[in-house]
Amino acid sequence: MPIAVYPGTFDPVTNGHLDVIRRAAALFDEVIVAVAESAEKQPTFSLGDRLAMVREACEDLKGVRVESYSGLTMQFARSRGAVAVVKGLRAVSDFEAELQMALMNRSLDASIETVFLPTSLEWLYLSASRVKEIARMHGDISDFVPEPVARRLSERS
């Protein structure tokens, strides 16, 4: 059963992330959404909150599991028996950074492939940073994130 890991900070999870998760779930028997601790990024939401939001957003998706991790993504992927790491791409700038990371990851463990999934056109512009910025300014984010995320962001604003 091929397993893939989709790593990220998910601060917060957006509809763009969910698009990648759904499409990855159609390609692999199991997708582990790996929510990174990411203390160096100083996330808006705690790890527990991010896990809860991703779990709520993915609760109806077959073959999707949500876990937290810290440390190297490749070590986490190996420990879960993954054959691939899934990365979503929005633009050329994403590709450049993600390609460098994929090559580094390959040097750490060549048995785990990196699979790039370009975002669907409707989410090409979407980023968690932009969503948080709109929420801080009391804008409507309901088209960009699942309802539980919109609720949590509005509570913080």
What is the pLDDT, as a whole number, of residue 49?
96
The model's pLDDT over 16-62, given as tens digits with 9 standing for 90+, comes to 999 999 999 999 999 999 999 986 778 999 999 999 999 999 999 99
Write out the two tokens for 49: 């909150």
Model pTM?
A: 0.95
Domains of the chain, start order: 3-122 (3.40.50.620)
The model's pLDDT over 51-110, given as tens digits with 9 standing for 90+, comes to 999 999 999 999 999 999 999 999 999 999 999 999 999 988 889 999 999 999 999 999
Q: What is the mean pLDDT of residues 7-12?
A: 97
Residue type, 39: A
